[in-house]
Structure 1
Amino acid sequence: MFSRFSVKVKQIEALKSILRLNKDPLEEAKKANADVIEIWKVLIYDQFAKTIVSPLLSTNSLRSLGVTLLLDLTSRRQPVPSVPVIYIFKPTDENLNLIYQDAKENLYDYMHLNFTSSIRTETLQSFAGKCAKDRVDSKIVKVYEHFLDFVSYEHNLFSLWHENSFNKLNSQDSSRREYMQKTAAQLANVLYTLGTMPIIKYSESENAQYLSKYLAEALRSESSPFSILQKQGSSSIISSSSSAPRLSNAYTQMAMPSFQDYERPLLIIIERSADIVTALQHHWTYMDLISDLLDYQPGRINYTKKVQTQSSSSSSSTTSQTTKQHFDVSFDDDFFWVENFNAPFDTIGPQVTNLVSKYTVDAERIKGQIMNGIGDGESNEGMGIGGALDPLTATKSVLDKHVLIATQLNEIVKKRSIDIYSAYEEELRSGNSNGRIFDILNADKAYSDQAPLIEKEGQQSSSPQEQPNQGTLADMIRLLSVAYLSPQPVIQRSNRDGENESWTSQIDGMEQKLKRNGAPYIRSYEYLKRFKNRNADRPESSGKIFKNMTELFSSSIKLPYVERLVEDVMDAKQSDLADSLITIDPKQSEIPISSAVSRDSTMKVKSRRAIVFIIGGATIHEYLLLADYAKRTSREIILGSTEILTPLSFLQQLQLLQQQQ
Structure 2
Amino acid sequence: MSYSDSDSSSSYGGGEYKNFKQISRERLLHEMLRSAKTGSSKSTWKVLIMDKLTVKIMSYSCKMADITQEGVSLVEDIHKRRQPLPSMDAIYFIQPTKENVIMFLSDMSGRSPLYKKAFVFFSSPISRELVSHIKKDATVLPRIGALREMNLEYFAIDSQGFVTDNERALEELFCDEENTRKGDACLNVMATRIATVFASLREFPFVRYRAAKSLDAMTMTTFRDLIPTKLAAGVWNHLVKYKQTIENFPQTETCELLILDRSVDQIAPIIHEWTYDAICRDLLNMEGNKYVHEVPSKTGGPPEKKEVLLEEHDSYLA
Give the TM bin, normalised by the shorter chain: 0.7 to 0.9
Residue 152 (1) aligns with residue 156 (2): yes
User: Does the 8 Å contact 2:36/2:119 carry over to 1?
Assistant: no
Tell me how far 1:290 sits from its aligned partner: 2.2
Residue 173 (1) aligns with residue 179 (2): yes
1:118 match: secondary structure: coil
Which letter maps to 1:110? K
Q: What is the aligned partner in structure 2 of residue 47 from structure 1?
A: 52
**1:549-588 pair list within 5 angstroms:** none
Cα distance in 2 between the residues matched to 1:73 and 1:137? 19
Cα distance in 2 between the residues matched to 1:47 and 1:257? 29
Cα distance in 2 between the residues matched to 1:282 and 1:195? 29
Q: What is the aligned partner in structure 2 of residue 259 from structure 1?
A: 249
Which letter maps to 1:78? Q
Q: What is the aligned partner in structure 2 of residue 290 from structure 1?
A: 280
Percent identity between the two aligned chains: 24
Which letter maps to 1:18? M
Q: What is the aligned partner in structure 1 of residue 291 from structure 2?
A: 302
Which letter maps to 1:19? L
Note closer, same or farther for the CA distance 1:186–1:306 as it changes in structure 2 (3 Å cut).
Answer: same
Cα distance in 1 between the residues matched to 2:119 and 2:296? 42
Q: What is the aligned partner in structure 1 of residue 32 from structure 2?
A: 18
Q: What is the aligned partner in structure 2 of residue 79 from structure 1?
A: 84
Cα distance in 1 between the residues matched to 2:185 and 2:231? 10
Cα distance in 2 between the residues matched to 1:69 and 1:179? 33
Q: What is the aligned partner in structure 2 of residue 212 from structure 1?
A: 232
User: Does the 8 Å contact 1:194/1:257 carry over to 2?
Assistant: no
1:85 match: secondary structure: strand
User: Does the 8 Å contact 1:181/1:214 carry over to 2?
Assistant: yes
User: Does the 8 Å contact 1:295/1:301 carry over to 2?
Assistant: no
Q: What is the aligned partner in structure 1 of residue 3 from structure 2?
A: none
Cα distance in 2 between the residues matched to 1:257 and 1:107? 33
Cα distance in 2 between the residues matched to 1:209 and 1:202? 7
Tell me how far 1:309 sits from its aligned partner: 11
Cα distance in 1 between the residues matched to 2:103 and 2:304? 33
Cα distance in 2 between the residues matched to 1:226 and 1:291? 38
How big is each residue's C-alpha offset from its partner over 1:198-251, in whole Å with a ceiling of 9 and x where there is no partner? Answer: 12221234211222233333323xxx23234xxxxxxxxxxxxxxxxxxxxxxx
Q: What is the aligned partner in structure 1 of residue 130 from structure 2?
A: 123
Which letter maps to 2:87? S
Cα distance in 2 between the residues matched to 1:305 and 1:258? 51
Note closer, same or farther for the CA distance 1:125–1:227 as it changes in structure 2 (3 Å cut).
Answer: closer
Cα distance in 1 between the residues matched to 2:274 and 2:233? 37
Cα distance in 2 between the residues matched to 1:87 and 1:38? 16
Which letter maps to 1:225? Y
How big is each residue's C-alpha offset from its partner over 1:569-602, in whole Å with a ceiling of 9 and x where there is no partner? Answer: xxxxxxxxxxxxxxxxxxxxxxxxxxxxxxxxxx
How big is each residue's C-alpha offset from its partner over 1:532-555, in whole Å with a ceiling of 9 and x where there is no partner? Answer: xxxxxxxxxxxxxxxxxxxxxxxx
Cα distance in 1 between the residues matched to 2:244 and 2:266? 38
Cα distance in 2 between the residues matched to 1:177 and 1:329? 33
Note closer, same or farther for the CA distance 1:260–1:326 as it changes in structure 2 (3 Å cut).
Answer: farther
Cα distance in 2 between the residues matched to 1:147 and 1:138? 24
Cα distance in 2 between the residues matched to 1:285 and 1:160? 20
Note closer, same or farther for the CA distance 1:282–1:58 as it changes in structure 2 (3 Å cut).
Answer: closer
Tell me how far 1:78 sits from its aligned partner: 1.0
Q: What is the aligned partner in structure 2 of residue 510 from structure 1?
A: none
2:61 match: secondary structure: coil
Which letter maps to 1:63? T
Tell me how far 1:154 sits from its aligned partner: 1.3
Tell me how far 1:277 sits from its aligned partner: 9.3
**Greater gyration radius:** 1
Which letter maps to 2:52? Q
Tell me how far 1:146 sits from its aligned partner: 1.6
User: Does the 8 Å contact 1:20/1:38 carry over to 2?
Assistant: no
Residue 163 (1) aligns with residue 177 (2): no
Q: What is the aligned partner in structure 2 of residue 66 from structure 1?
A: 71
User: Does the 8 Å contact 1:44/1:72 carry over to 2?
Assistant: yes
User: Does the 8 Å contact 2:152/2:199 carry over to 1?
Assistant: no
Residue 226 (1) aligns with residue 226 (2): no
Q: What is the aligned partner in structure 2 of residue 143 from structure 1?
A: 147
2:125 match: secondary structure: coil
**1:29-40 pair list within 5 angstroms:** 39-40=44-45
User: Does the 8 Å contact 2:155/2:164 carry over to 1?
Assistant: yes
Which letter maps to 1:217? N
User: Does the 8 Å contact 1:202/1:268 carry over to 2?
Assistant: yes
Instruction: Provide structure 2 residue ranges, at least 5 long, that are not aligned to the other structure.
Output: 1-15, 213-225
How big is each residue's C-alpha offset from its partner over 1:288-341, in whole Å with a ceiling of 9 and x where there is no partner? Answer: 32222234455x32314468699xxxxxxx864765x5334444xx3x54xx52
Cα distance in 1 between the residues matched to 2:187 and 2:35? 33
Residue 185 (1) aligns with residue 198 (2): no
User: Does the 8 Å contact 2:86/2:114 carry over to 1?
Assistant: yes
Tell me how far 1:272 sits from its aligned partner: 3.1
Note closer, same or farther for the CA distance 1:164–1:279 as it changes in structure 2 (3 Å cut).
Answer: farther
Note closer, same or farther for the CA distance 1:278–1:186 as it changes in structure 2 (3 Å cut).
Answer: closer
Note closer, same or farther for the CA distance 1:262–1:211 as it changes in structure 2 (3 Å cut).
Answer: closer
Q: So what's the TM-score if we normalise by structure 1?
A: 0.38
Q: What is the aligned partner in structure 2 of residue 604 from structure 1?
A: none
**1:448-597 pair list within 5 angstroms:** none
Instruction: Provide structure 1 residue ranges, at least 5 long, that are not aligned to the other structure.
Output: 29-36, 229-255, 311-317, 344-661
Q: What is the aligned partner in structure 2 of residue 327 from structure 1?
A: 308
Q: What is the aligned partner in structure 2 of residue 268 from structure 1?
A: 258
Q: What is the aligned partner in structure 1 of residue 217 from structure 2?
A: none
Q: So what's the TM-score if we normalise by structure 2?
A: 0.75
Cα distance in 2 between the residues matched to 1:93 and 1:209? 29
Which letter maps to 1:10? I
User: Does the 8 Å contact 1:306/1:322 carry over to 2?
Assistant: yes
Q: What is the aligned partner in structure 1 of residue 22 from structure 2?
A: 9
**Larger % of helix: which?**
1
Note closer, same or farther for the CA distance 1:63–1:184 as it changes in structure 2 (3 Å cut).
Answer: same
User: Does the 8 Å contact 2:291/2:308 carry over to 1?
Assistant: yes
Aligned length: 282
User: Does the 8 Å contact 2:88/2:115 carry over to 1?
Assistant: yes
Aligned with residue 57 of structure 1, among 52, 59, 62: 62
User: Does the 8 Å contact 1:193/1:257 carry over to 2?
Assistant: no
Note closer, same or farther for the CA distance 1:83–1:190 as it changes in structure 2 (3 Å cut).
Answer: same
Cα distance in 2 between the residues matched to 1:95 and 1:71? 13
Cα distance in 2 between the residues matched to 1:65 and 1:218? 30
1:96 match: secondary structure: helix
Q: What is the aligned partner in structure 1 of residue 222 from structure 2?
A: none
Tell me how far 1:187 sits from its aligned partner: 2.0
User: Does the 8 Å contact 2:166/2:190 carry over to 1?
Assistant: no
Tell me how far 1:260 sits from its aligned partner: 5.7
